[in-house]
Amino acid sequence: MDYLTIDMVIEHLRLVDPPPGIIKAIEEGITKSEKAVYEILNRSYSDIIEEYGDIPKDIKVATLLLTEDFLRRNEHENYALKSVLERYKKK
């Protein structure tokens, strides 16, 4: 994870107390999405930093959206919905 954080994704998805399994999926989603963005841009992290000094906000937003997409398609689960509803689940 080069520039997105787990907290950024949790805030973006509006998750409430996500369980550890979802945290692991978020980490994997961030790694996949950052790699995909580098491939799309045909640039590396250091190349972007060298030119802009930081990761531009538009790239961060696009990567957040891609991470969300990866999470929604991961094992056909909607992690945001699952996180919100988890506390109401009958035990």
The verdict on residue 77 lying in a domain is yes
The verdict on residue 91 lying in a domain is no
CA 14, distance to chain mean position in Å, is 12
Number of structural domains found in the chain: 1
The verdict on residue 59 lying in a domain is yes
The verdict on residue 21 lying in a domain is yes
The predicted-structure confidence for 80-89, as pLDDT tens digits, reads as follows 556 666 666 6
The structure's pTM equals: 0.79
The verdict on residue 48 lying in a domain is yes
Q: Residue 81 sits in which domain range?
A: 6-86
The verdict on residue 1 lying in a domain is no
The predicted-structure confidence for 40-80, as pLDDT tens digits, reads as follows 989 999 999 999 999 999 999 999 999 988 887 765 455 55
CA distance 47 to 53: 10
